[in-house]
Every structure is written in C-alpha cells, then in structure tokens.
Structure 1
C-alpha cells in the first residue's frame, strides 16, 4: 500500500495538481483504481456527470464483494459504516480467505484502518516528493495494474482447482479489446459477468440431471 501510495502521490504532482490533493483523494475517496483515473479527470476539468459515471463503472464490483465480505462480524453502526467505506480489493482479499474465517470484527476493522493509513500516508509522501522525480519518468500510473496482477496470481495459486475463472476473465478482456477497444473495461466486466452466470446455470443444470 505504501509504494502504491507513493506512486499515486507522484502522479498527482506530475499532473500539475498541488501535493495536498493526494492527501485529500486518499483520505476522502479511498478507491485506488478510481483515484488514478480521477487525476486525469480532475486535471482536464471533466463534468461531474462523467466523473460519477466513471466512478460507478470502476467501483461497481464492490457490490459483489459485499456478498461474501464478513461485515456481520463488525459491531456498531459507525464501525460498520467505516468498514463499508474502507472495503478495498486488498482488504477483501485478506479478509475472505480461509485463514481469516476466525478473525473477530475488531481485527478486520483495524486491518482496514491501517491499510487506509498506509495508503494516505504513502500518497502524501509521494505528493511531497513527486516534484523531485524528473518529468521524463513515465509508467507510475501502471503501479495499480501491477498490484491487481499480483492479487490475481495469488488468487490463482490459492484456488488451483478453479482454473476456468481466470481463463474466462482473460477471454473476456481479449474479446472486449477486439470488439470495443474504446470501452474495454465496462465491456470486459459485462462479458465476464455473463460468462460466470452462464457457467453457473450450466453447472446447476448438470447437477440436477445427475
């Protein structure tokens, strides 16, 4: 989270925004992938409607996260509200694996709080130090993509028996890239969701026949 936050803060500074925008984005928005996109949208003074639609498309996956995220273990309305706000890809990956099934709500909440602190602290440091990075250095915005790749590889290693899922994801991404290159992300998400639903229905039909 700290190296990723550093990269985000540096991207903020290199885009022409003041360093404190990194702190504000990290503390108040706290949605890594959308924050990287928001830098370009804010720099281009994009309409609020465009920003809202982009935020929905990028973060709609969190709706599916809530189906298995252990929010019921977190006690108190304020604690539940913060845990919902701080639900990130990394927090979901850590709290829904086999080893985390016995974790109490307090541990889940503190894990999310520390991750939020690491992200905000890294972003602030990156924003302050970003001016020291030469403008010729490129690729810092790829840091989040690299993190998602690592999370995906870890998930594949943990669930070796579920190889069709990453294969479907890869095929959905390739099909979206070929058919709708300008809208690759939403198209890939729709194709992947449709593929998962189709596989689920076929599995149920086979189970009933058996």
Structure 2
C-alpha cells in the first residue's frame, strides 16, 4: 500500500518538472523502477544523451543483479511469467517475497504480489500526476519519499530476520564505497557486500565439512561391556 503515496509523490514531481501528466503511466509501465523513475525525470527534462541515460540506469539498477540471486523467480513455471516477473522485480517486491519461507511459496503468489505492487504504483503515479497538474501542488521534499521507503524496508527486513552482524557489514560496505567511489557507490557497495557474504558462506561450508569429516573418522570409545 505504500506504493500509493510514493507513486503519487512521483506523479506530482513529474508534472511540476514540466512533463505532461500522461508521462506518469508511461514511465510506470515501461520503466517501473522507482528510484530510476525519479532520476529519469531529471534526465529527460535535462536533455541527457542516451549513453549517459544507459550508464545511469545500469548503476542505479545494478542491485537487481543481486536481488535475482535469492528472489523466488523459479517458483513461476511459465517462461512468459518469469520474463514478466523479471520486469516487475522491485525493492518492495523483493522485500515482501524473498524474506518469506520458500517452502510454501508458489508461482501464483509471486506473480500476484508483483502485479498488485505494479498496479498500486501505476494508480498512485497517475493520480498524483493528475492532481499535481490540476491543483498545482508543490513538489519540494517529495524526492525524499523514496529514501524513506528504503529505510522502512530495511527495518522490516531486519525485524523479519534479525541479523546484526550482516547489517553492520552492509553499512560498512556502504560507508567504504561512499568514500572510495562516491560516483559508483551502489555498485561498489553491493559487490563488496556479496564478496563478504560469499567468503562467509565458503568459510562456513569448509568448517562444517571439517566437522563432518572429524565425526566420521573419530574412533568410538570402547564400551565397558566389551
């Protein structure tokens, strides 16, 4: 439901930037990537070249590569459904579906959740654009709505699966990337975070393997009755 006010904020921001209201549903259907849609307003109104638009889109949406590693896309059986599921993969859909137990997850539930999210966003953005065009609403501060939503999603994800060490590592990777490469902060932070998680998983697997080998090779103590 948070997509309704957030989409409305996007719609208002779009029309106050000089674009016609009908661009809101066009952006929402074809782009459908909240943060990139907000950035697309400035790119379109600023006359930015296609190469820069492509590069910006790559860096902003690069996080979806990592989302795909744990998103339950394989629950969807049809190829068309999976392609549509890829297009509708957003931060909110990921937060709603990837943190839930996977044993009871179905392809129908995955697609239904994503479609509802898309409809909420489309409805909110179009309504906000129409209201912004007719009422002349002020868009100052509305860009922060997206940041606020990410904060809420992080809090909810932590409540669903409390893991303080992982949260600290994520914040450390983000802080380091912001210092080392502020222009490509998101890509650097996510890459570093995945490398740390991969190393942690490898070390954990090696440790479990060593423990298993130790148990199988251990000589059982001779019982007193032997």
- TM-score bracket for this pair, using the shorter chain length: 0.7 to 0.9
Aligned match of 2:167:
166
Q: Which runs of 5+ in 2 are unaligned?
A: 212-226
Partner Cα separation in structure 2 for residue 26 and residue 165 of structure 1: 33
Partner Cα separation in structure 2 for residue 41 and residue 13 of structure 1: 14
TM-score, length-scaled by structure 2: 0.82
> Which one of the candidate residues 49, 54, 62 is aligned to 2:51?
49
TM-aligned CA deviation for residue 205 of structure 1: 4.5
**In structure 1, the residue corresponding to 2:118 is in which secondary structure?**
helix
Aligned match of 2:176:
175
Partner Cα separation in structure 2 for residue 86 and residue 54 of structure 1: 19
Aligned match of 1:7:
9
TM-aligned CA deviation for residue 144 of structure 1: 1.2
Cα deviation per residue 1:20-77 (whole Å; 9 max; x = unaligned)?
A: 1111000111111111111111111111111111212222222222233222322323
Aligned match of 2:105:
103
> Which one of the candidate residues 126, 130, 133 is aligned to 2:132?
130
RMSD of equivalent CA atoms: 2.1
Q: Which runs of 5+ in 1 are unaligned?
A: none
Aligned match of 1:72:
74
Contact 1:5 1:123 in 2 (8 A): yes
179-188 vs 43-52, greater mean Cα deviation: 179-188
TM-aligned CA deviation for residue 113 of structure 1: 1.2
Structure 1 4/194 Cα, relative in aligned 2: closer, same or farther at 3 Å?
same
Partner Cα separation in structure 2 for residue 60 and residue 180 of structure 1: 15
Partner Cα separation in structure 2 for residue 118 and residue 56 of structure 1: 25
Contact 1:95 1:101 in 2 (8 A): no
Partner Cα separation in structure 2 for residue 47 and residue 78 of structure 1: 32
Matched, 1:196 2:190: no
**In structure 2, the residue corresponding to 1:66 is in which secondary structure?**
helix
Structure 1 101/32 Cα, relative in aligned 2: closer, same or farther at 3 Å?
farther
Structure 1 201/124 Cα, relative in aligned 2: closer, same or farther at 3 Å?
same
TM-score, length-scaled by structure 1: 0.87
TM-aligned CA deviation for residue 150 of structure 1: 0.8
TM-aligned CA deviation for residue 134 of structure 1: 4.3
> Which one of the candidate residues 118, 121, 135 is aligned to 2:120?
118
Q: How many residues align?
A: 208
Aligned match of 1:26:
28
